[in-house]
């Protein structure tokens, strides 16, 4: 048996809508993207959604928008708190915009912020906290929103790994001022490549729409608060107001997104059924620390950390997995402070003990939106005797 990391969720409906777009001869951002954005915003209970070409671009545009808002904007050199474990492109836009990163350790059970360490890291200079719910598992947003409210700190959620997860019945990605999602191939829904920003704030929404589209005014809603329309139509057609990008999505992505969003509830249900089986098999296994669910995880993948005092070497476990054709990876890139690229960053770190343990002893295997309980059994059988 082979236990893959990911599998395609595209069926006849995705292929049909793709063909319709191809036959329509209209490819760049248009009505399908707009409809997808409306449905996405509705699903997650936010006023606005802005689709872009990837989750990484969503982080870039969201970060940029906070620099150009009228009040309480970010400025170069501001202190931003980030977790030691997240995907590289959580950090890149922050670095590229000249922000000062302060890395905080994670909790070994949940793999999200260690809340005590987070509290200790907050300083009068902290302007924003980036919360990342790792691999589907919600952060403790009671604690994080309290810290932000009490200290007048902006909450930014990189929710690219956790679409559909809930903390106390509220979707992750909607706790912060701004939230980002990925719709990359292997994620909870797929538009091949893709990303979405969700917000309630009309100014930030208007900024994001312009920033994804050359910093142009085209596509701004009536009453946009980020520029004043002038009389001269000729000049208005090519009017640029922000140093933006072109990270627009395609109509293909919008059209597929609508089909996939309709499937999301079922995808989540199946992912959770698989997870129940995984947890049942491994929860009392002292050799491994598995991710402790906070709220309702959307179970992107299944993490396992070889318990430090188990006497087992991760190398041995990984060899067993490789021999059995069970695909596996380091947990979300491991401790980001140990990636080569960190040499370019201006950063501080309070502590990274647990991130190092996850880096040195951890791995994850895939979860899929189809029943893979037999593959989880296969994983269990293979790991039984190490």
C-alpha 345/C-alpha 279 separation (Å) is 38
d(C-alpha 90, C-alpha 83), whole Å: 10
Shortest spacing between CB 54 and ligand PLP, in angstroms: 4
Q: Which is nearer to ligand PLP, 180 or 382 (CB)?
A: 180
State which of residues 14, 105, 114, 158 lies at the interface with ligand PLP (CB under 6 A).
158
172 counts as binding ligand PLP under rule CB under 6 A:
no
Tell me: does residue 110 bind ligand PLP (CB under 6 A).
Answer: no
**By the rule CB under 6 A, 161 interacts with ligand PLP:** yes
Closest CA to 278 of 377, 347, 139: 377
**Cβ distance to ligand PLP smaller for residue 151 or 186:** 186
Which of 170, 186, 381, 174 minimizes the C-alpha distance to 271? 186
Determine whether 359 is an active site residue: no
Would you say 324 or 342 has its CB closer to ligand PLP?
342
Can you list the pairs that 378-385 forms with residues at least 24 positions away whose Cβ atoms lie under 8 Å?
378/1, 378/3, 378/324, 378/326, 379/3, 379/321, 379/326, 380/281, 380/282, 382/320, 382/321, 382/324, 382/326, 383/287, 383/288, 383/317, 383/320, 383/321
Cβ atoms of 259 and 14 closer than 8 Å: yes
Q: Which of 133, 227, 116, 218 is nearest to 172 (CA)?
A: 133
* Residue count, binding to ligand PLP (CB under 6 A): 15
With CB under 6 A as the contact rule, the residue among 9, 63, 65, 90 that binds ligand PLP is 90
- Candidates 13-21, 82-90, 148-156, 272-280; binding stretch for ligand PLP (CB under 6 A): 82-90
From 31-39, 83-91, 268-276, 360-368, give the range in contact with ligand PLP by CB under 6 A.
83-91
Q: Among residue numbers 115 through 144, which ones bind ligand PLP (CB under 6 A)? A: 132
Question: Binding to ligand PLP (CB under 6 A): which residues in 37-66?
Answer: 54-56, 59
Give the C-alpha separation, 187 to 126, whole Å: 31
Q: Choose which of 9, 63, 86, 352 interacts with ligand PLP (CB under 6 A).
A: 86
Beta carbons of 131 and 155 less than 8 angstroms apart: yes
Residues within window 360-379 making contact with ligand PLP, judged by CB under 6 A: none
* Minimal distance, residue 34 CB to ligand PLP, in Å: 20
Q: Measured from the CB of residue 67, what is the shortest distance to ligand PLP in angstroms? A: 19
**Can you tell me the distance from the alpha carbon of 163 to that of 26, in angstroms, rounded to the nearest whole number?**
29
* Kind of pairing between the strands at 178-182 and 154-158: parallel
Stretch that binds ligand PLP, among 86-94, 116-124, 221-229, 256-264 (CB under 6 A): 86-94
The two tokens of residue 43 are 């699903």
Residue 184 makes contact with ligand PLP by CB under 6 A: yes
Alpha-carbon dihedral angle through residues 191, 197, 199, 203, given to the nearest 10 degrees: -120
Name the residues annotated as catalytic: 187
Residues forming the site for ligand PLP (CB under 6 A)? 54-56, 59, 86-87, 89-90, 132, 158, 160-161, 182, 184, 195
């Amino acid at each position: 048996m082979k236990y893959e990391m990911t599998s395609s969720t595209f069926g006849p409906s995705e292929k049909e809508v793709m063909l319709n777009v191809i036959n329509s001869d209209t490819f760049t951002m248009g009505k399908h993207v707009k409809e997808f954005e409306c449905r996405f915003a509705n699903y997650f209970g936010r006023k606005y959604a802005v689709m872009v070409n990837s989750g990484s671009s969503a982080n870039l545009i969201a970060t940029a928008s906070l620099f150009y808002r009228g009040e309480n904007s970010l400025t170069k050199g501001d202190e931003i708190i980030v977790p030691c474990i997240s995907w590289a492109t959580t950090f890149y836009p922050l670095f590229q915009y000249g922000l000062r990163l302060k890395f905080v350790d994670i909790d070994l059970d949940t793999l999200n912020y260690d809340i005590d360490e987070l509290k200790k890291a907050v300083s009068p200079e902290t302007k924003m906290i980036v919360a990342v719910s790792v691999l589907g598992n919600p952060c403790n947003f009671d604690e994080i929103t309290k810290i932000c409210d009490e200290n007048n700190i902006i909450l930014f959620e990189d929710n690219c790994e956790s679409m559909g997860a809930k903390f106390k019945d509220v979707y992750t990605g909607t706790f912060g001022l701004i939230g980002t999602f990925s719709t990359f191939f292997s994620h909870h829904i797929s538009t091949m490549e893709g990303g979405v920003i969700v917000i309630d704030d009309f100014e930030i929404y208007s900024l994001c729409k312009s920033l994804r589209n050359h910093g142009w005014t085209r596509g701004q809603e009536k009453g946009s608060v980020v520029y004043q329309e002038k009389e001269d139509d000729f000049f208005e057609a090519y009017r640029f107001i922000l140093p933006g990008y072109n990270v627009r999505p395609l109509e293909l992505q919008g059209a597929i997104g609508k089909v996939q969003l309709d499937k999301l509830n079922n995808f989540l249900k199946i992912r959770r059924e698989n997870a129940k089986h995984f947890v049942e098999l491994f929860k009392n296994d002292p050799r491994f620390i598995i991710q402790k669910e906070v709220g309702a995880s959307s179970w992107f993948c299944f993490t396992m950390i070889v318990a430090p005092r188990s006497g087992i070497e991760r190398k041995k476990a990984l060899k067993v997995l490789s021999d059995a054709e069970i695909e596996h990876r380091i947990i979300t890139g491991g401790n980001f402070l140990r990636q080569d690229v960190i040499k370019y960053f201006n950063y501080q770190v309070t502590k990274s003990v647990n991130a190092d343990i996850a880096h040195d002893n951890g791995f994850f295997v895939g979860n899929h939106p189809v029943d893979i309980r037999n593959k989880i059994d296969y994983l269990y059988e293979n790991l039984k005797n190490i």
